[in-house]
A and B are shown apart, each in its own frame.
Chain A
Amino acid sequence: MLTLTSPVETWAHRLPAAGKLAALAAGTTVLFVVDASWILAVALAAAGALYLSGGMRFAAAGLRQLYPLWPFVVIVVLWHLWTAEVAAGIAILLRMVTAVALANFLTMTTRLSDMLVVFERLARPLSPVLPPRRLALAFALVIRFIPVMLDRMGLIRQSWSARSPRPSRWRVMVPATLAALDDADRVAEALRARGGAE
Chain B
Amino acid sequence: MERSLTHIALFAALIAVLGLVPKIDLAAGVPITAQSLGIMLCGTVLGAKRGALAVILFLALVAAGLPLLSGGRGGIGVFAGPSVGFLVGFPIAAFVAGWVMERTTLSPAVAATAASVIGGIGVLYVFGIAGMALVLGKTLSEAAFLSFAFLPGDVVKAVIAGLVTQSLSRMRPASLLSRA
Contact = CB atoms under 8 A, between A and B. Distances in A.
Interface string A73-91: 0011001000000001001
Interface in A90-137: 91-92, 95-96, 99-104, 106-108, 110-112, 115-116, 119, 134, 137
Nearest to B80: A99
Contacts of B142: 79
Most buried by B among A28, A108, A169: A169
A103 B175 contact: no
Interface in A175-190: 176-178, 180-181, 183-185, 187-189
A46 interface: no
B110 interface: no
Interface string B122-154: 000000000000111110001000100000000
A103 B76 CA distance: 5
B12 A103 contact: no
Contacts of A50: none
B2 A142 contact: no
A146 B17 contact: yes
A170 B161 CA distance: 9
A138 interface: yes
A142 B16 CA distance: 9
A177 B164 contact: yes
Contacts of A68: 71, 73, 81
A1 interface: yes
Contacts of B9: 137-138, 141-142, 145, 184, 187
Interface in B38-81: 41, 45, 57-58, 60-61, 63-68, 71, 73-81
A107 B65 contact: yes
Interface string B75-116: 111111110000000000000000000000000000000000
Contact residue range for chain A? Answer: 35 or more
B126 to A, nearest CB: 20
Given A24-B76, A146-B13, A197-B1, A191 B6 contact: yes
Contact of A4 (B58, B75, B136, B163): B75
A165 interface: no
Contacts of B180: none
A38 interface: no
A142 B57 contact: yes
Contact of A72 (B76, B136, B171): B136
Contacts of B167: 174
